[in-house]
Amino acid sequence: MLNKRIVLITNNILGFRCLKKMVEKRLNIVGIISHIKDTTSNIDDYCSDLRDFCKIKNIIFYECFNINNIYLNIENIAPDFVFIFDWSRSIPYNILEFTKAAVFNTHPSLLPKNRGNDAIAWQILNNESESGVTLFGVEKGKADNGRIYVQESFSISQDETASTFYEKAVRAAEKIIETKIDGIVSGSVEGIPQDEKKATYTKTFDIEARVIDWKQGANYIEKFIHALGSPYHGALAHYGSNLLRITKVKIKNNENYTDLYGTILVASKNTAVVQCGRGVIQITGIMDENDKPLDIRILKPGTRFILKSKDDVRENI
């Protein structure tokens, strides 16, 4: 079993921590195929430590500028197993045409539920109480539809954020490596077909979908911002000609404002209070499009965020 040649496709924190677990178990890791940081992806969990770790451990490290180059590198290495730890973009499933290796992928949900992109954010928004990580075989067909080999579950709390969910998912993936990877490599663990009748799908949060709808209640808006927080790029708000990232908020209880939703009621150096469709919310962190923290005092009392619906757009300055 120790001689089985294993390749990882990853460029992120998830893959780095799973790689370290595999090395601890003395598995034969013959290569890491990575790709450059993707600034167009919704999720930003890029890990710059991968290259240095591979250098220390004498593991071949390929970094692709074009995702299609993955195939060429896999052919050159000729692995027995390929494990994909990459939630920032989809690896094309015709990878199977370029290798005889058994190919496995991971997904941050209990498949067949929540197949697709941005599953972390949707599970938080949908108030789900349980999730997990699924290790499944890559097969031709729809994304995330392969045989399930291992699932490791965890609970989702009412105040879950994308960051806390991601950490739970990484720990679940580490546990899969610690307890089940030997059986996967030896072939003693068999995959179980997914029940297509139970399959559900999530969709990608494009830029428009990430814009806060201030007509919603304060509780929903707080959850929306938490669901799209780090490692995602954040919930967005149009303010004048600026597109802001709202990074930190909390519910402002026992306040009796009745202004138009999206109106900035109070603003100081550290906080701004905004009227929602129901209730108000306190903003304690904002950034610009380049992830630069901004002084909250750029938000002027009495002005409004431009709203999500085109019919609701008004001048706010």
Q: Does 58 reside within a domain? A: yes
Q: Is the pLDDT of residue 19 over 70?
A: yes
- Whether residues 171 and 221 share a domain: the answer is no
Dist CA 220 CA 292 (whole Å) = 26
Domain boundary among 177, 198, 219: 198
Q: Does 99 reside within a domain? A: yes
Domain boundary among 198, 225, 245: 198
C-alpha dihedral sign at 115, 121, 127, 128 = positive
Q: Does 244 reside within a domain? A: yes
- Whether residues 171 and 220 share a domain: the answer is no
When the pLDDT of each residue in the chain is averaged and rounded to a whole number, the result is 88
Tens digits of residue pLDDT in 220-270: 999 999 999 988 888 999 999 899 999 999 998 766 677 899 999 999 888
pLDDT at 141: 65
Parent domain of 304: 208-312
- Whether residues 262 and 158 share a domain: the answer is no
- Whether residues 75 and 184 share a domain: the answer is yes
> Is residue 52 a contact partner of residue 58, using CB atoms and an 8 Å limit?
no
Domain of 174, CATH number, reads 3.40.50.12230
Confidence band of 66 (pLDDT split at 50, 70, 90): low
Confidence band of 317 (pLDDT split at 50, 70, 90): very low
> Is residue 104 a contact partner of residue 184, using CB atoms and an 8 Å limit?
yes
Give the predicted TM-score (pTM) of the model.
Answer: 0.90
- Whether residues 89 and 162 share a domain: the answer is yes
Q: Does 26 reside within a domain? A: yes
- Whether residues 194 and 308 share a domain: the answer is no
- Whether residues 15 and 89 share a domain: the answer is yes
- Whether residues 41 and 175 share a domain: the answer is yes
- Whether residues 171 and 232 share a domain: the answer is no
pLDDT at 309: 47
- Name the more confident of 90 and 270: 270
- Whether residues 124 and 19 share a domain: the answer is yes
Q: Does 161 reside within a domain? A: yes
Domain boundary among 198, 225, 240: 198
Count: domains in the chain: 2
Task: Name beta bridge partners: 104.
Answer: 83, 137
Domain of 272, CATH number, reads 3.10.25.10
Q: What percent of the chain has pLDDT over 70?
A: 86
Q: Does 317 reside within a domain? A: no
Identify the helix (H) or strand (E) that includes residue 240: none
Q: Does 203 reside within a domain? A: no
| Tokens, residue 101 | 């290796």
Dist CA 21 CA 175 (whole Å) = 9
Q: In terms of Cα–Cα distance, which of 278, 86, 83 is closest to 176?
A: 83
Tens digits of residue pLDDT in 147-176: 999 999 999 999 999 999 999 999 999 999
